[in-house]
Amino acid sequence: MFRQLAKRVRDRIGLISQLNGRPRPVDPMLALAKNYGELLRLAQQIESHAEKAPYPHVAEKLWRIAREKRELAGTMKEKLAARERNAGEPASPVKSGKNHWERMVQDLEDQKALEEGLIQLADAVAEHDPQLSRMLRDIVVAQNPHKEDFLDLIARADPQAHQY
């Protein structure tokens, strides 16, 4: 048992000394495929929430956001195909809430998490692949209005409503 523990410690120390304080290298295409899957999942989630929207104009706005996200995902898929990599499929399930307000809050939180992941990837690949970094930043900029739309929908929604 002591030998196993000592081996684990040596392995970790060796890993740390190999990295020398630098972050682990990122496989940009693997990370892009993961973010592609997350963007598709978010589009599916928003479509699901559009089906449950309490008013037609709210549903229209959500359908538009989902459609724009699918278009952006298409850009990512083209980049992956150009590098002969498979695009990831949504890995995690669609999230929901008990009412419209909770669903919009969930969409906003997922939007922010996705943008953070895209920005981190853009920063990680900026030196080695400036074109990919620029594309990722453009995708983030293209999604800025979505955050504003979600904030508007949240402000207008009733958090106490018991809609399902």
Query: Higher confidence at residue 120 or residue 164?
Result: 120
The Cα angle at residue 109 between residues 30 and 106, in degrees rounded to 5? 110
pTM of the predicted structure, to 2 decimals: 0.79
SS3 label, residue 23: coil
CATH of the domain at 50: 1.20.1260.10
Mean pLDDT of the chain: 85
Q: Is the pLDDT of residue 14 over 90?
A: no
Considering the domain boundaries, does residue 15 fall inside one? no
Considering the domain boundaries, does residue 137 fall inside one? yes
Query: Higher confidence at residue 90 or residue 62?
Result: 62
Considering the domain boundaries, does residue 22 fall inside one? no
Q: Is the pLDDT of residue 72 over 90?
A: yes
| Residue 79 and residue 32 in contact, taking contact as beta carbons nearer than 8 Å | yes
pLDDT at 15: 42
Q: Is the pLDDT of residue 18 over 50?
A: no
- CB contact burial 11-42 (16+ within 10 A = b; e otherwise): eeeeeeeeeeeeeeeeebbebbbebbbbbbbb
How many structural domains comprise the chain? 1
Residue-number span of the structural domain to which 52 is assigned: 27-156
pLDDT at 36: 92
Considering the domain boundaries, does residue 52 fall inside one? yes
